[in-house]
Amino acid sequence: YEFSPDVITLDLEMPGMDGFTFLRLVTQSRPLPVIVVSSRSEDRAIFRALELGATDFIAKPSARISSDIQRIAQELRFKVENIRKVALSNLMQFERGLKPAAGRGAVAEVRMQETPSCVVVGSSTGGPAALHYLLSELPPRFDIPIAIAQHMPRGFTKPFAERLSKRLGRDVIEGEDGRLLQPGQVILAPGGKHLLIENSTRGPKLTIADPAESDRFIPSVDRLFESAVEVFEERIDAVILTGMGNDGLKGARVVHDAGGHVIAESQETAVVYGMPREVVEAGLADKVAALPEIPRLLAAAVNKPRAKPRGKAARA
C-alpha cells in the first residue's frame, strides 16, 4: 500500500468496489487490522465481514445528528489506539478453520468443579468468531445455561443470536427482561444494554438493565458475572475470551472469591490478549487455555469434587 497504514476503517457501502471485495483483497494480499464502519445490521453484513477477516466493527449513528456520535467517536478512538494488540495470525486461523488441540491433556491438568448451574462468558474484539467456535464444539446435550456478554451495539445482537442458532442448531437467543433461565439455552446480552441474572419465585431469571453514562463497556462482562454469583454462588464456570480492555476483571475476581471456576483464553489463540491477560496477571484464572481446549474443559465439569470457596465465601 502506498501509505502503509497500521489500521483501516472500512465502510461496506462504497461506490465502485464494494467493501466486501476490498476486504477480500486486504486479507489475501497484505492482512491488516480492519474496523468496519456500517449501519447495515439487518442484512447481517457485519457478520459476513467478520467472517471475511475484519477485526472489529463500529455502528454508524442512526441519524446525521445523533447523541450517539460522541460515544461512537470515543469507541472508535479506543479501538484504533488498541488495534496494535491484535494478533492477525490468530484472526486468520478462523478463516482457515481452527482445529481442536489434541494430546494436550488439558482436562486432566485442571481441577474442575462438579456440574455448574450456569456458564458465563465475556468477550469483545474477536469474540463473534470465538463464540461461534466455542458453542460449535460443545457436546450436543450440554444442558447447562450459558449467558454471554459480548461487546456489541444495539441492533446487532439479535441477528447474531439468530445466525448462531441457525448455524449451530442450538437454542441461542437475545436476552429478554423477565425470561427464566432455561437448561441448555444460550443467552446473548442485548446490544447497548446489560444482562443480569436474578432470583425469582419461579427460579433464576434474566434482567435487562440500561447502562449508566459512565459505563465504558456495554454490555458489561463484570456486571453479568457479579449478578450470576449472587444467584449461583460457587456453582459457576466463567470464561474470559478475546477482547480489548479490562472488562471481566472485577467479575472474575467475584467468581474466584466465591469458589467458582475461571477459565481465560490463552495468548496462543486470542485475537486480542487484553481481557484474558488482565485476569491471568491478577492470578484469578484457574486455567489458561487455548480456545480449542475450552469446550473440553466445560464439558469435563461433570460430577467432579468442588474446591472449597475462596476469599469472602470461605470466610462466611
Which mean pLDDT values do the consecutive 10-residue runs of the chain (316 residues) have?
Answer: 80 80 83 80 74 84 64 82 75 61 42 73 94 94 94 90 93 96 96 96 96 91 98 96 95 97 96 96 97 94 52 44
**Is-catalytic flag, 247?**
yes
Q: Give the pLDDT confidence score for residue 98 in this predicted structure.
A: 63
Give residues with Cβ within 8 angstroms of 153, minimum separation 6. 58, 59, 191, 192
The yes-or-no answer on residue 68 being catalytic is no
- Per-residue pLDDT, 3: 72
* Residue 289: φ, ψ to 5°: -135, 145
pLDDT of residue 175: 97
Contact criterion met (CB below 8 Å) for 295 and 137: yes
pTM: 0.84
Rounded CA gap, 152 and 68, in Å?
Answer: 14
Residue that is written with C-alpha cell 434474566 in the block: 206
Do residues 274 and 79 touch, judged by C-beta distance below 8 A?
Answer: no
pLDDT on residue 198:
97
Q: Which of 247, 256, 261, 286 is catalytic?
A: 247
Residues ≥6 apart with Cβ < 8 Å to 45: 12, 38
**Contact criterion met (CB below 8 Å) for 19 and 52:** no
**124 labelled catalytic:** yes
* Backbone φ and ψ of 118, nearest 5°: -160, 145
pLDDT for residue 213: 83
Stated as kind and residue range, the H or E segment containing 163 is helix 157-168
Q: Is beta strand 194-198 parallel, antiparallel or unpaired with respect to 205-209?
A: antiparallel
Distance between CA 260 and CA 254 in Å, rounded? 9
Q: What pLDDT was estimated at residue 105?
A: 40
Distance in angstroms (rounded) separating the CA atoms of residues 129 and 285: 22
Give pLDDT, residue 65: 53
Query: Which residue of the set 38, 117, 151, 220 is catalytic?
Result: 151
Q: What is the DSSP letter of 201?
A: T
The pLDDT of residue 46: 85
**Whole-number pLDDT of residue 43:** 57
In the set 123, 124, 220, 227, the catalytic residue is 124
So what's the pLDDT on residue 131?
96
Backbone angles phi, psi at 179, to 5 degrees: -75, 135
